A and B are shown apart, each in its own frame.
Chain A
C-alpha cells in the first residue's frame, strides 16, 4: 500500500553522492495538488566529539509525508544526526532546515511541532501513564491532542493508571510512541522504536506508523532492522562511519545491489555443459547430484525451461534471492568497515 502511494517519482535513482547536492527533483504529491515540499533538508552536516568524527558530510532530504529510514551499525552517526535535527545537539558545520526552521536556534518552537521518540530516555519511575501523556500534551501548546486519543492509538490506554516503572518493555515503547503522537506532530522522529518489542508488538507498531503517515505526517525512522525498512520506508539511507553510503528505495537497493541470483536443483544427469549457453546464466558448478547455477534477472525461468527441454524435471528447483538484509550487509562490507 505504501508503494502505491509513493508513485513513480519515488523510485528514482537516488544513490547519494557525497557531494551530491542538489537532489533529484522532488517527487510530486500523490494527490497531484501541488509540488511536494521537503520536510527536512540537510547539507554537508558535520559533528565531532573531541577528536571523534560522529557525522561526516551528511547530505539528505526528506519529503513531506514520506517515511524515511536511517539504518546503519552502532556508532555510525544515526542518533547524532537525528538529535541534531531536533536541535538537541549543535552541529559543527552544515546547513539544516527542519519544517523551515533552524533546529539549533529555533529548537523550542520546532520541538513543539514534532513528535519524538528518543533512544535511551526514560520518564520518572512513579509517573503514571496518563500523567505523562497529559503533561506532554500541555507542552505541545496549541498543537496538542486529547491524551486519551493518543493513548488509545498507541494501545496504552488500558494501562493509563500504571506507573512508568511498572510497565513492561513493550508497554514503555508504546507509551513513547503515544507521547510522540500526543503533540499532533507534522514530523515524527522514531529512534529504534521497536527495539525490545516482540514480533507481534512490532507489527502493531508498524501499523501505527502507517496510520500516522496516512494522517499526513512525515516520519524519520532510525532502525537496526532491515525488515522494518522493507515494510515501512519509502526511502532509506545507509549510514556507515558517519557517512551516508547509499540512499534509495528498498526495492531499488535490492535491484541495484543484489548482485546475482542463485538457482539450485538436484539431478543424476551428468552432462550439463549446455547450461552455460542458457540466457542469463553466468556460471554453474556441480557438487555430486547438487547443481548450483549463478546468473542474473530471469535466470530461474530460462534454466527451468531448458531443463524441461532436456527432459530433466528436478522436484527441488528453486532460486535464492538476496534479501534486503543480505543487500545491507553487502553494502556495509563493500564500503569497508
Chain B
C-alpha cells in the first residue's frame, strides 16, 4: 500500500517501524512535525524538551539504556545541541541514536541558512541525506542500524523541501508491526566509554577514527550511494532535494546519487569520475561535496564544476537549476530537460503588485506590547523639549530619527513576536538567536549607552535559553527590564507545548514551570504580571520599570489567539465622523484594520474584539458593536 506522506511524517513512521521508543526535540520550522507525528504512536515516549541540548542529552541517556532514540530540531538547533553532539561521537551509543536536523535553505522561517552537512564532518559522524519521503522512512531505519553497528550517533539532514514535501511511501503490513522493545534491564556500566575524562577521551578519540575508517568502507558499498549511468558526457553528483531537481533538468545524464554524504565513498566517486567527461556537482548551499571531491587524491582527469554554475546562497528550484545550467552553456535539450529555463532577466509583471508580508494575527496578545514599546522608542518628548507638530501623529517621519536617538532600545528574540520588528510597529532593535535578548540588554547597559534598554522574549524562548541570561542579570548587578511575552505556547511552530503550557507533546496534562516563581526564585524581586490587551497599563509599567535601578521582569500574559480562539459577539467599529485619520490604530498593524474612504475601518470577519485599537485611538472613535449588526 502506498501512502502520501510529508517527509517529516515519513521520518516519524520510519522511526516507529524501526522500534524507536524515545523521541525528543525542540520545535522549529521545518522540523516540528516529526515529533508531533511520532507522539501519536502507541507505546512510545516523546517529549518537547526545553531546548535542543537537553533533547539530545535525554536521547543519549535513552541510548545508553539500550533504547533506540531520535532527536529532532531545526538547523540552528544543532548549534544549541553541539556540545553533547560532539561528545556523543566520542562516547558512541548502545541503542541506535539518530539526530535529525532540518535545514532551511532560503530562510523561510529562520535567522540564517547554515549548511549542517558541515556538522557531520566537524563532529566526525556519518551523514544521511534523504531526497523524498520514501527515503526519509528508509534512512531513519538505516541510520539507527548504522548507529548500532558502528557505535556512533548518526546525523540525518533534511531541508525544508524534503521535510515539507509530500510524496508516496510504500508501507507494508509487516513493516507496521514493529519489533517489541526490550524489557527494562539494569544499566550496564562502562566508564571507559561513557566518562569522557581526558584519560578515557584520548582512547575514544582513537576509537572514533577507527569507526570512521570502517564507515568509509561501508560508504563504498551501501545502496544509499549509487551510480545511474546515462549520457557519459555529463556526470551529475548530487544529494538531498537538489538530486530531484537535477533529475528533472537532466533526465538523460549520468548520476551519482549520494544518500550517505559523510564519509564520502572515494572509490565510487573515482569510478564515476573516470566514466564521464564533465562532473557537475549540484548541491544547495555550501560546496560541501564539491570541495571534498576536488580534494580527492587520485581523482581522474575530469572537468569538475559546481559553484561556478550554481549559487551557494538561497534555495534551489527546478527553474533555477535549469537557468544556471543554460547560462553556463549546457544544452538542456540534449539531456532531455523537462524544464525550460525562465527568461533572464525575469519577465516583468504588467503592473507592480503590493507585497503581503507575514503579520501578527488579529487579536494577537503581543500587539499592545509592541505598540507600547513603539511609543517609548519614539518618545513624544525628548530631552525635555516638546515638538508640538508631533502631537497625536505617530507617523511624522521628519523627526523620527531625532526621537529615536533618545528613545527606548528594545533587544528582541526569536518567535512570532519578532514580527514586531517590521513596519509599521518597528519596535525591535535586535534579533540574533534564541535567548540573546537578555544578554544583549546587559551588554548595552554595561557599555554605558544613554538609552534605557528593555529585553523582549517569548515564554518558550525564555525556557529554552533565557533563564541563564536572567541569572546574569542578577549576578552582574544590571538594572535590566525583561519582558516575557507569555502566550502559554510555542506559537510560531504551530502551537507546541512548552514548560509553561502544562501539557505533553500529545496533549496530556503535565506539570508546569511557573514563570513568576522561577524569576523570583532566581532573585528578581520586581516581578509583575500584566494583561496582554491592556495597552495603556503595559506602556505605563514598562516606562516605570526602565526608570528603576533594580532589575525587573514583566510577564505579559495573553493566551495565543490561534489556540484560545475567542468567540466574542462584539467587534470593533470605527465611527467615521469621529475618525481624524491619524492612523494610530493602523500603527498596531492589525490585519482587521484597513483604510477606507480616507478613514480607518474594521473588517468585522477578522476582528476578535481584543480592544487594542479602541484603546490606542486618541479620538475615542472606535466602539464595540454587535457582530451580527455589521456583518452583511
A in complex with B: no
| B interface list, Cβ under 8 A from A | none
